[in-house]
Structure 1
Amino acid sequence: MPSRSDDPVAAAIDRAATLIAQDVVALAAANPVVLIDGRSGAGKSTLAARLAARWPLAGRVQLIALDSLYPGWDGLDAGVDRALEWILRPHGRGYLGTWRRWDWERETEAESHAVDPALGVIVEGSGILTPSTVGLGDVRIWVESGEPARKARALARDGETYRPHWDRWAAQERLHVERDDPRMLATRIVDVP
């Protein structure tokens, strides 16, 4: 197995996590919100996990993946609406938020999870950078990666479960990119090979 220094994807994500941690420190906020957007397979989840592991502030950070909120394969926009209503708006007002996990197998909502307004939050997922969320995200990341590499990573990760839905999901991502221009809403752009 190659070391991280031999893996250009891992190296790019490590560099980005370090820079984003510096962005978080520069905010001088006790409970910052980091939003990480990008198309499927770009490296959002890996980047979010690396950032959470090296969170630079006292206390833990709450890491929430939109994969846990999207209500099914046609639910990109609905997942973002849920993140706004259940997580970002309450957190921004200093209120306890509560979100419900989507059970992909049963195709229904499952257990609830609390979001502590006193702690920082990382929300990662396709679609999270929109004009509605931009004012609620202190650090806003767009992860850019070419389609062949993204598709290979996503299908290696999720295999045959995802393959029949790739085009359907990609169409929702394309609409998001055209409508919301998340790259322009980002405070930092991360290029992943």
Structure 2
Amino acid sequence: MDHPPPGTPGRLDAPAARLRALPPSCGPVRLIAVDGHAGSGKSTFAGRLAAALGGAPVVRLDDLATHEELFAWTDRVREQILAPLSGGATARYGVYDWVLRRFTREEDVAPAPVVLLEGVGSGRRALRPYLACLLWMEVPEHTSWERGRLRDGPELSAFWDGWVRAERQHFSADPSRPYADLLVRQGAEGYVVRTGPAVTA
């Protein structure tokens, strides 16, 4: 049976095949960024895409950010993830505990054919040279933030107030969407993946 072509609702087999066919971008790895506003569904989509890719590793930027450094994690990504993967070695990075407010453990990520980097700002300027593809979750910021607030509950409302300011500041200085290769939208029948502005421009 033929897979549905890119841009149609349903399974992610076709986008996954498209990503697997890309040339490596970070040593032997095809590093794929899944970016978008907080609350846009990046984590869920990345998990499903990873499954469609046969169990591709997913690095979540929530594990590398901290309360004090919501977006100042570039050096950690470069040193702990990009440098080893570029050399074909297994990367090991610290995982931040948002309750204890400190890094409490480490995770390994092997130099698999495809590795997903998921999180707000994963398509930032400093990381784009290492990316084989940048995907952007096509959900408006206010819709995303409302989803996130509902998900996290009123006890995190103060955190969200600070987050919204920080995210606006980040994307104002270093936008990701204009450089997206693919745009992802969730419809009633599943995800729709279509060509992004970086390709059509």
Q: Please, what TM-score do these two structures have when normalized by structure 2?
A: 0.77
Q: Tell me what 1:53 maps to.
A: 51
1:130–1:185 contact (8 Å) kept in structure 2? no
**Amino acid corresponding to residue 31 of structure 1 in structure 2:** V
| Structure 1 residue 144 displacement after superposition | 2.4
More helix by share: 1
Given candidates 21, 25, 30, the residue that maps to 1:26 is 21
1:80-135: CA deviation from partner (whole Å, max 9, x where unpaired): 43223211232123222110000111111111111212442111001111121001
Q: 1:125 to 1:114 in 2, by over 3 A?
A: same
Q: Please, what TM-score do these two structures have when normalized by structure 1?
A: 0.80
**Amino acid corresponding to residue 183 of structure 2 in structure 1:** I
CA distance in 2, matches of 1:171, 1:49: 27
CA distance in 1, matches of 2:107, 2:53: 21
What pairs with 1:166-181 in structure 2 (closer than 5 Å)?
Answer: 166-181=160-175
Secondary structure of the 1:113 match is: strand
What is the RMSD computed on CA atoms of the aligned residues?
2.5
**Amino acid corresponding to residue 50 of structure 1 in structure 2:** R
Q: Tell me what 2:64 maps to.
A: 69
Given candidates 17, 42, 45, the residue that maps to 1:44 is 42
**Amino acid corresponding to residue 20 of structure 1 in structure 2:** P
Secondary structure of the 1:78 match is: coil
Q: Gaps spanning 5+ residues in structure 2: where?
A: 1-6, 188-201
Secondary structure of the 1:105 match is: coil
CA distance in 2, matches of 1:188, 1:16: 16
| Structure 1 residue 180 displacement after superposition | 1.5
**Amino acid corresponding to residue 104 of structure 1 in structure 2:** W
CA distance in 2, matches of 1:68, 1:161: 21
| Structure 1 residue 13 displacement after superposition | 11
Q: 1:79 to 1:192 in 2, by over 3 A?
A: farther
Secondary structure of the 2:32 match is: strand
CA distance in 2, matches of 1:94, 1:83: 16
CA distance in 2, matches of 1:14, 1:136: 29
Aligned pair count reads 178
2:81–2:92 contact (8 Å) kept in structure 1? yes
| Structure 1 residue 161 displacement after superposition | 4.2
What pairs with 1:131-150 in structure 2 (closer than 5 Å)?
Answer: 131-150=125-144
Q: Tell me what 1:83 maps to.
A: 77
CA distance in 2, matches of 1:117, 1:133: 17
Identity, in percent, stands at 30
